[in-house]
């Protein structure tokens, strides 16, 4: 069976949580590294962060940021390869990203004809 | 795997260097903004390093990001015009500076200067310690509270006090004249010594937590020893003292996390390599014609580390060292140790005589150390009833459960 590609969209709470200390960041970084090593064959692209400012363009209007009405904003994205959605879920569940409260990751297959 | 090793403590250690460097270039009065910017840069690193791998120079990367953030923050404030004229040179030279090689040297130099600036007589030593832990070692308020056994509010208060003082004196890092640097050296030694003992003597059950205070103290003291102002015998004596104690740190607790007394420790587990390092520093400290409390304390620690068993400890020499210590740095705690060593060398009664020969300050009178030593020596001289009374006082005054357990075991109180 051919692998599928999944887009993972990271959303996080806009509410300010306490800033992590350097030691906590060290720990977090180590967790990322361990996770990346473990799932190296699944991770296609670690993606990027998205800036906080932006615009929404519609048929007749351009609005600054759609984010005001949303509790959670899209903070970043990454792509995975996996045989099934379940496998992709396993990879994401093991990631340090979902360990923090107020963060959710939406996994969607990138469809190709 | 190599990268993981490389990144160990990069965040915490870079924190102090970056804060110091930015303080030096931008000014002590911007401490808050600088700490925020460094924190911000590290949060960025967390995101980007995972994606593109760690940059070849993490320091330069973090500096660049923190600096850019700081400038954009400044631009966003009303002080814009003033700051931009003051610091326009930074904006212009930013890129060039980042590519310069002697970066690391400048960073450690800034860090040392920051340490000297913080060790001002106008700042109480408790605040100096907290400032050092926070701004130079990169510990958060919560982590400091955990390590010093004080509340977060208290840590915050001490930190603010140091910060306020530093802002008031508006002393730039480079403005401390050479003779003032020399004059402050004893205060710098004192705060590093305190940093070490906070870790070493802590009854924290997590050895890693105690160890990292000790390692921070050693890191900063080494930096000091390698500098123009700190390259003096006292710095090496302090390093020797630290390494002798560090060699024993793993054996201070049994496998259940209970504290162990010196005589119960497994000497085979003392770190021989660290003892060798300590001996090297001790030799290096033996120059010039002054002797400091650090020399004597290192000497005492050396006697303990080098004797094959508790019984074979040269107690006579140790007693003599404590007597010398009294004449240089009188402290009631030294009397306690003096009494213990005398009891080992001569008799428990002789130890008691040392204890009873001095006026005890109130704070020590109420400390568990004092009661515990009294109780122990009384038991050993056959004064069971009196000993029992002191033992109960000692246990009641002990600050943590692990110390209470140690005392109950040692003093046989049921």
The residues on B that touch A, with CB distances below 8 Å, are 3-4, 7-12, 14-15, 39, 42-43, 45-47, 49-51, 138-140, 142-143
Please give the pLDDT value at position B27.
81
Q: Taking CB atoms and an 8 Å cutoff, what residues of chain B touch A36?
A: 50
Q: Taking CB atoms and an 8 Å cutoff, what residues of chain A touch B8?
A: 26
Share of chain B above pLDDT 70, in %: 86
The verdict on a CB contact (< 8 Å) between B142 and A21 is yes
How far apart are alpha carbons B208 and B351 in whole angstroms? Answer: 35
Q: How confident is the model at residue B278 (pLDDT cuts 50, 70, 90)?
A: very high
State how many domains chain B has. Answer: 2
Contacts of B169 by beta carbon, 8 Å cutoff, 6+ apart: B120, B122
Last residue of a domain, one of B169, B196, B227: B227
- Does B362 reside within a domain? no
A111/chain B closest Cα distance in angstroms? 24
Nearest C-alpha in B relative to A43:
B51
Q: Taking CB atoms and an 8 Å cutoff, what residues of chain A touch B140?
A: 21-24
What is the CB neighbour count within 10 angstroms for residue B381?
17
How far apart are alpha carbons A32 and B175 in whole angstroms? Answer: 42
Region of poorest pLDDT, from B64-78, B85-99, B166-180, B286-300: B85-99
- Does B391 reside within a domain? no
Tens digits of per-residue pLDDT, B23-58? 888 888 888 899 999 999 998 888 888 776 778 888
Claim to verify: residue B132 and residue B216 sit in the same structural domain: yes
- Does B243 reside within a domain? no
Please give the pLDDT value at position B277.
96
How far apart are alpha carbons B317 and A59 in whole angstroms? Answer: 91
What is the CB neighbour count within 10 angstroms for residue B124?
13
Of A23, A28, A76, the CB nearest to B46: A28
Q: Taking CB atoms and an 8 Å cutoff, what residues of chain A touch B9?
A: 26
Contacts of B384 by beta carbon, 8 Å cutoff, 6+ apart: B378
How far apart are alpha carbons A7 and B249 in whole angstroms? Answer: 50
Euclidean distance between the first and the last CA atom of chain A, given in angstroms as a whole number: 16
Q: Could you give phi then psi for residue A10, rounded to 5 degrees?
A: -95, 125
The verdict on a CB contact (< 8 Å) between B142 and A33 is no
The verdict on a CB contact (< 8 Å) between B3 and A33 is yes
Claim to verify: residue B184 and residue B127 sit in the same structural domain: yes
- Segments forming the whole domain that contains residue B214: 116-227
- Does B23 reside within a domain? yes
Claim to verify: residue B92 and residue B164 sit in the same structural domain: no
Side-chain-side CA neighbours of B45 within 13 Å: the count stands at 33
How far apart are alpha carbons B350 and B342 in whole angstroms? Answer: 6
Claim to verify: residue B148 and residue B50 sit in the same structural domain: no
Q: How confident is the model at residue B299 (pLDDT cuts 50, 70, 90)?
A: very high
Look at B160 and B102; give whichever has higher pLDDT. Answer: B160
How far apart are alpha carbons B128 and B113 in whole angstroms? Answer: 14
Of A23, A28, A33, the CB nearest to B139: A23
Claim to verify: residue B134 and residue B74 sit in the same structural domain: no
Claim to verify: residue B84 and residue B124 sit in the same structural domain: no
- Does B48 reside within a domain? yes
Please give the pLDDT value at position B174.
72
How far apart are alpha carbons B281 and B298 in whole angstroms? Answer: 10
Q: How confident is the model at residue B257 (pLDDT cuts 50, 70, 90)?
A: low
- Does B109 reside within a domain? no
Is some CB atom of chain B closer than 8 A to the CB atom of A52?
A: no
Q: State yes or no: pLDDT of B82 exceeds 60.
A: no
Please give the pLDDT value at position B128.
93
Residue B398 in contact with residue B404, Cβ under 8 Å? yes
Claim to verify: residue B223 and residue B198 sit in the same structural domain: yes
ipTM exceeding 0.85, yes/no: no
The full 3-state SS of B9-77, as one line of letters, equals CHHHHHHHHHHHHHHHHHCHHHHHHHHHHHHHHHHHHHHHHHHHCCCCCHHHHHHHHHHHHHHHHHHHC
Last residue of a domain, one of B204, B227, B250: B227
Region of poorest pLDDT, from A63-72, B162-171, B330-339, B366-375: A63-72
Claim to verify: residue B96 and residue B121 sit in the same structural domain: no
- Residue B62: name the closest of B36, B42, B33 by CA: B42
Region of poorest pLDDT, from A13-17, A51-55, B109-113, B351-355: A13-17
Nearest C-alpha in B relative to A46:
B51
What is the CB neighbour count within 10 angstroms for residue B410?
18
- Running DSSP on this structure, what letter comes out for residue A64? E
Of B4, B14, B140, the CB nearest to A21: B140
**Look-up of token digits 């102090």:** B16
Claim to verify: residue B124 and residue B212 sit in the same structural domain: yes
CA angle A99, A100, A101 (to 5 degrees): 120
The verdict on a CB contact (< 8 Å) between B49 and A29 is yes
Beta bridge partner(s), residue A4: A82
The verdict on a CB contact (< 8 Å) between A29 and B139 is no
How far apart are alpha carbons A11 and A74 in whole angstroms? Answer: 4
- Running DSSP on this structure, what letter comes out for residue A73? E
A59/chain B closest Cα distance in angstroms? 34
- Does B7 reside within a domain? yes
| Average confidence (pLDDT) over B353-375 | 79
- Does B87 reside within a domain? yes
Nearest C-alpha in B relative to A19:
B39
Share of chain A above pLDDT 70, in %: 88
Please give the pLDDT value at position B89.
44
Q: Could you tell me the sign of the dihedral formed by the alpha carbons of B95, B96, B102, B106, in that order? A: negative
B14/chain A closest Cα distance in angstroms? 9
A58/chain B closest Cα distance in angstroms? 31
The verdict on a CB contact (< 8 Å) between A26 and B139 is no
| Helix (H) or strand (E) run with residue A15 in it | none
B196/chain A closest Cα distance in angstroms? 19
Q: Which of B5, B11, B59, B133 to mutate to test the interface with A (most CBs of A within 10 A)?
A: B11
Domains and CATH numbers, chain A: 4-13+22-109 (3.30.70.1060)
Tens digits of per-residue pLDDT, A41-74? 999 988 888 877 788 888 887 777 655 556 667 8
Region of poorest pLDDT, from A51-60, B368-377, B380-389: A51-60
pTM of whole model > 0.95?
A: no
Claim to verify: residue B123 and residue B194 sit in the same structural domain: yes
Claim to verify: residue B120 and residue B213 sit in the same structural domain: yes
The verdict on a CB contact (< 8 Å) between B39 and A30 is no
Please give the pLDDT value at position A61.
77
Residue A112, token pair as written in the block:
């190709």
Concatenated DSSP letters for B150-211?
S-HHHHHHHHHHHHHHHHHHT--GGGS-HHHHHHHHHHHHHHHHHHHHHHHS---S-HHHHH
Is some CB atom of chain B closer than 8 A to the CB atom of A96?
A: no
Last residue of a domain, one of B100, B125, B144: B100
Residue B213 in contact with residue B198, Cβ under 8 Å? yes
Tens digits of per-residue pLDDT, B92-134? 444 334 434 335 677 788 888 889 989 988 899 999 999 999 9
Q: Taking CB atoms and an 8 Å cutoff, what residues of chain B touch A49?
A: 47
**pLDDT, mean over chain B:** 83
Claim to verify: residue B126 and residue B79 sit in the same structural domain: no
Q: How confident is the model at residue A12 (pLDDT cuts 50, 70, 90)?
A: confident
Is some CB atom of chain B closer than 8 A to the CB atom of A30?
A: yes
């Amino acid at each position: 069976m051919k692998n599928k590609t999944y887009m993972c969209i990271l959303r996080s709470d806009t509410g300010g949580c306490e800033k992590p200390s350097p030691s906590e960041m060290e720990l977090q970084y180590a967790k990322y590294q361990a996770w990346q090593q473990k799932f190296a064959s699944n991770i296609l692209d670690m993606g990027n962060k998205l800036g906080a400012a932006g615009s929404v363009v519609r048929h007749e209007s351009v609005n600054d940021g759609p984010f005001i009405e949303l509790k959670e904003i899209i903070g970043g994205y990454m792509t995975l390869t996996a045989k099934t959605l379940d496998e992709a879920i396993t990879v994401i569940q093991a990631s340090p990203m979902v360990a923090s409260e107020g963060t959710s990751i939406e996994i969607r297959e990138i469809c190709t004809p | 795997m190599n990268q993981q090793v490389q990144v160990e403590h990069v965040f915490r250690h870079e924190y102090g260097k970056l804060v110091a460097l930015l303080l030096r270039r931008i000014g002590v009065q911007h401490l808050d903004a600088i700490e925020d910017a460094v924190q911000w840069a590290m949060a960025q690193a967390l995101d980007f390093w995972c994606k593109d791998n760690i940059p070849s120079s993490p320091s330069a990367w973090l500096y660049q990001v923190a600096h850019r953030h700081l400038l954009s923050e400044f631009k966003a404030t009303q002080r814009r015009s003033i700051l931009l004229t003051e610091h326009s040179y930074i904006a212009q030279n930013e890129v060039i500076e980042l590519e310069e090689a002697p970066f690391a040297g400048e960073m450690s130099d800034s860090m040392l200067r920051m340490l000297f600036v913080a060790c001002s007589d106008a700042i109480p030593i408790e605040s100096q310690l907290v400032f050092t832990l926070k701004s130079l070692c990169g510990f958060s308020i919560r982590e400091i509270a955990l390590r010093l056994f004080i509340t977060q509010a208290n840590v915050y208060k001490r930190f603010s006090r140091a910060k306020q003082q530093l802002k008031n004196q508006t002393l730039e890092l480079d403005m401390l004249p050479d003779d003032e640097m020399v004059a402050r050296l004893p205060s710098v030694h004192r705060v590093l010594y305190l940093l070490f003992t906070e870790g070493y003597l802590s009854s924290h059950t997590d050895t890693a937590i105690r160890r990292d205070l000790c390692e921070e103290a050693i890191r900063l003291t080494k930096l000091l020893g390698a500098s123009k102002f700190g390259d003096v015998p006292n710095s090496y004596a302090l390093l020797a003292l630290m390494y002798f104690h560090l060699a024993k740190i793993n054996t201070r607790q049994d496998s259940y996390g209970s504290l162990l007394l010196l005589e119960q420790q497994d000497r085979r587990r003392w770190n021989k390599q660290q003892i060798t390092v300590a001996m090297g520093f001790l030799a290096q400290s033996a120059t010039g014609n002054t002797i400091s409390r650090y020399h004597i304390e290192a000497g005492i620690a050396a006697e303990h580390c080098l004797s094959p068993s508790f019984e074979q400890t040269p107690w006579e020499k140790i007693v003599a060292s404590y007597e010398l210590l009294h004449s240089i740095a009188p402290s009631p705690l030294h009397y306690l140790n003096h009494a213990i060593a005398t009891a080992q060398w001569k008799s428990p009664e002789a130890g008691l005589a040392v204890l009873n020969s001095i006026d005890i300050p109130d704070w020590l009178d109420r400390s568990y150390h004092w009661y515990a030593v009294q109780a122990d020596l009384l038991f050993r001289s056959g004064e069971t009833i009196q000993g029992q009374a002191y033992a109960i006082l000692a246990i009641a005054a002990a600050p943590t459960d692990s110390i209470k357990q140690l005392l109950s075991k040692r003093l046989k109180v049921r």
